Copies of this chain bind each other. A is one copy, B any other.
């Protein structure tokens, strides 16, 4: 048996009134969830908070202390409602400074006479950070300790995730197998599924109904990091479902 890899955990903090007001529909949570699952980081919690400094500070501190990594999205532009850098600096207890390298990056796309006070705000980052490159619009996000601060615009956030991913510690990937219950309602297999879930310690089993075209469809999802265990649990689920399905076909 190989040495079990460490479990690496993460949280996402979405910062922005526009998500809470319903004006913008978040596209980042699902993308980051998939991305982290693919590289072997377990996303354990997500929060969405408004553009309020104390709310951001509290959430940053709660989440960075609890998980291996915290990813934030949103609030790093030049306008007055972009207060993520200030809030993260406050949470970490470090001062901000104007980073000359960022000013230089901005001047690659901007005439010197168009540089102004507001744009300079985008170069204000906490002391002691690493840049997280932004191949789309240049101004980088940053990583300070275990907190990764990214843009809210999806294409830029995605570029930043690509840039920072190689620098992150990752664990064993989650193996995910899905089985459709083909006509057996959740209420019929729930007891058997619970017994199987209880007997496989390193595996989590979920049952996910969806409703469409006037009927329910149920997917049973088996997740774990040990492929032998996932396979065994999956086989147990299939064996449990089979007689229920056969009985329904006969009835």
Contact between A20 and B34 (Cβ–Cβ < 8 Å)?
no
With contacts A26-B29, A45-B20, A221-B23 taken as known, whether A116 is within 8 angstroms of B211 at the C-beta atoms is no
State how many copies of this chain the complex holds.
Answer: 2
- Chain A: residues with CB nearer than 8 A to chain B? 14, 16-26, 29-30, 33-37, 42-51, 55, 77-81, 110, 114, 116-119, 121-122, 136-137, 153-156, 174, 176, 178, 186-188, 190-191, 193-194, 197-198, 204-212, 216, 221, 223
Contact between B81 and A207 (Cβ–Cβ < 8 Å)?
yes
Contact partners of A174 in chain B: CB under 8 A: 21
In whole Å, how far is A15's beta carbon from the nearest beta carbon of chain B? Answer: 11
Interface of A is mostly: mixed
Contact between B211 and A137 (Cβ–Cβ < 8 Å)?
yes
Q: In the complex, which of the residues B24, B29, B110, B122 contacts A48, with contact meaning CB atoms closer than 8 Å?
A: B29
Q: In the complex, which of the residues B22, B122, B206 contacts A51, with contact meaning CB atoms closer than 8 Å?
A: B206
Q: In the complex, which of the residues B20, B186, B211 contacts A33, with contact meaning CB atoms closer than 8 Å?
A: B20
Contact partners of A197 in chain B: CB under 8 A: 80-81
Contact partners of A186 in chain B: CB under 8 A: 77-79, 118
Rounded to whole angstroms, the CA-CA distance of A105 and B208 in the bound complex is 22
Rounded to whole angstroms, the CA-CA distance of A223 and B16 in the bound complex is 14
Contact between B50 and A44 (Cβ–Cβ < 8 Å)?
yes
Contact partners of A117 in chain B: CB under 8 A: 191
